[in-house]
Amino acid sequence: MPEANKASGIPPSLDSLDRKIIAGLQGGFPLCERPFAAAAATLGLGEDGEEILLRRLCAMLQAGILTRFGPMFQIERIGGAFVLAAMRVPEERWEEIVASVNALSEVAHNYRRDHEFNLWFVLATETPQGIAAAIEHIEAETGLPVYPFPKEREYFVEMKLEARL
Amino acid sequence: MNENAGTFDPLDRRLMLATQAGLPLVPRPYDELAKTLGIDADEVIARLQAMLDTGRIRRIGAVPNHYAIGYKANGMSVWDVADESVDAFGERIGALEFVTHCYRRPRKLPEWPYNLFAMVHAPTREEAREKVEIIAALLGDACRARDILFSTAILKKTGLRISG
């Protein structure tokens, strides 16, 4: 298996400006008429800051350094559900099963992990019932059990990752 | 839990559909969204602000790919902690600066004895393991079993997608 998706092939080309943007813009993007200009001013990007920021964000999205730029919705507050689930996938069926799990739009993230439970994904649905339906669908399609790990409690954490390259 | 269930305003929902893949990368993104939705930019801004205030939006900003920003080791540390003390430990572990997510989840006995999940991101596996030892030290005898599952591939990372 490759070490990661396309992102792992990226050379460590982030410069100090990219790092500053990543560290400074993981939240708090302004809600105003010219938010990129306002954010650029906060980051101290200078006179052409708005244009520089937009260009950098586009480039980082294209390169896969950022997976998204925008609002992160908390579906549980809108009546939906997020559930972590795992499967034990036999090596010989790996490609087939990853393809069928990934094909579901309800699968928001999916990771391979080095454990007997080797496939870990997050289901995100607009209704709590959608989770059970997605699990049933995957079980029917693959013939393998899906183990849901719904969160019983979330302990407070803050966003604190900075670029390390 | 779901006190907001069924109260999602149709226009907020359309705003979510229009932004879930990302904001338009133009100087006036809220104007552009307003045009798409047929409302004023002021209303777009007010609705996004209201969704932030009520926690329907966690935050607005950049979502980095952990691998690409140098956190190559993504370790899901999992712990079996007695039910009566798991919450007190969970709060303390969640507060550690290197823990990015921390949850209590159900065990799946006999295959899966772990009820506390703490995600650790670090530049290397070795550093991630060192950090996991800090969690182990904090738990002490309260930890009855443990494991760490490193990710070896991101197979999908689109984030939430509802369909219109």
Q: What is the pLDDT of residues B4-24, one digit of tens each?
A: 445 689 999 999 999 999 999
Most A CBs within 10 A among B32, B54, B69, hence the mutation to make, goes to: B69
Q: Is the pLDDT of residue A164 over 90?
A: no
Instruction: State the pairing for strand pair B116-122/B99-104.
Output: antiparallel
- Grouping H, G, I as helix, E, B as strand and the rest as coil, residue A100 is helix
Lowest mean pLDDT among A12-21, A92-101, B46-55: A12-21
pLDDT score of A79:
87
Structure tokens at B47: 């609705």
* A30 vs B6, more confident: A30
For residue A9, name the pLDDT band (cuts at 50, 70, 90): very low
Facing B153 at nearest CB: one of A112, A116, A151: A112
Facing A78 at nearest CB: one of B8, B23, B161: B8
Report residue A48 CA to chain centroid gap.
Answer: 30
**A55 at interface of B, judged by CB pairs closer than 8 A:** no
Q: Tens of pLDDT along B101-122? A: 999 999 999 999 999 999 998 9
* A164 vs A2, more confident: A164
Q: Tell me how far apart the alpha carbons of residues A27 and B133 are, in angstroms, rounded to a whole number.
A: 30
Specify whether the CB–CB gap between A97 and A89 falls below 8 A: yes
Q: Is the pLDDT of residue A157 over 80?
A: no
Specify whether the CB–CB gap between A113 and B78 falls below 8 A: no
- DSSP states of B31-52: HHHHHHHTS-HHHHHHHHHHHH
Facing B105 at nearest CB: one of A50, A66, A152: A152
Q: Is the pLDDT of residue B3 over 50?
A: no
Cβ distance B160 to A108 less than 8 Å, yes or no, reads: yes
**Burial group, residue B10, by CB count within 10 angstroms (0-12, 13-18, 19+):** exposed
Q: Is the pLDDT of residue A102 over 90?
A: yes
Q: Does a cis peptide bond (omega within 30 degrees of 0) precede residue B106?
A: no
pLDDT score of B70:
80
Facing B156 at nearest CB: one of A28, A71, A102: A102
Name the B residues in 81-110 with CB < 8 Å from any A CB.
Answer: 87, 90-91, 93-95, 97, 99-106, 108
pLDDT score of B55:
92
Mean pLDDT of chain A: 89
Query: What are the contacts of B10-18 at 24+ separation with CB within 8 A?
Result: B11/B37, B11/B39, B11/B47, B12/B47, B12/B51, B12/B56, B13/A78, B13/B162, B14/B164, B15/B44, B15/B47, B15/B48, B15/B51, B16/A71, B16/A73, B16/A78, B16/B162, B17/B162, B17/B164
Residue written as token pair 């400006």: A17
Q: For the residues A77-100, what does the mean pLDDT come to? A: 95
pLDDT score of A120:
98
pLDDT score of A159:
56
> A-B interface: how many C-beta pairs under 8 angstroms?
276
Specify whether the backbone of A162 is left (phi greater than 0), alpha (psi in -120 to 50) or beta: beta
Q: Tell me how far apart the alpha carbons of residues B45 and B51 are, in angstroms, rounded to a whole number.
A: 10
Cβ distance A35 to B29 less than 8 Å, yes or no, reads: yes
Name the A residues in 120-159 with CB < 8 Å from any B CB.
Answer: 120-121, 124, 126, 128, 147, 149-157, 159
pLDDT score of B158:
84
Query: What are the φ/ψ torsions at residue B161 (nearest 5 degrees)?
Result: -140, 110
pLDDT score of B5:
45
Q: Tens of pLDDT along A113-151? A: 999 999 999 999 999 999 999 999 999 999 999 999 999
Judge if ipTM > 0.85: no
For residue B160, name the pLDDT band (cuts at 50, 70, 90): confident
Q: Is the pLDDT of residue A21 over 90?
A: yes
For residue A162, name the pLDDT band (cuts at 50, 70, 90): low
pLDDT score of A113:
97
If one counts every other C-beta atom within 10 angstroms of the C-beta of residue A12, the result is 11
Sign of CA dihedral A124, A125, A126, A128: negative
Residue written as token pair 């870990």: A120
Specify whether the CB–CB gap between B114 and B80 falls below 8 A: yes
Specify whether the backbone of A123 is left (phi greater than 0), alpha (psi in -120 to 50) or beta: beta
Q: Is the pLDDT of residue A2 over 60?
A: no
Q: Tell me how far apart the alpha carbons of residues B110 and B21 are, in angstroms, rounded to a whole number.
A: 39
Cβ distance B58 to A73 less than 8 Å, yes or no, reads: yes
Lowest mean pLDDT among A9-13, A14-18, B47-51, B150-154: A9-13
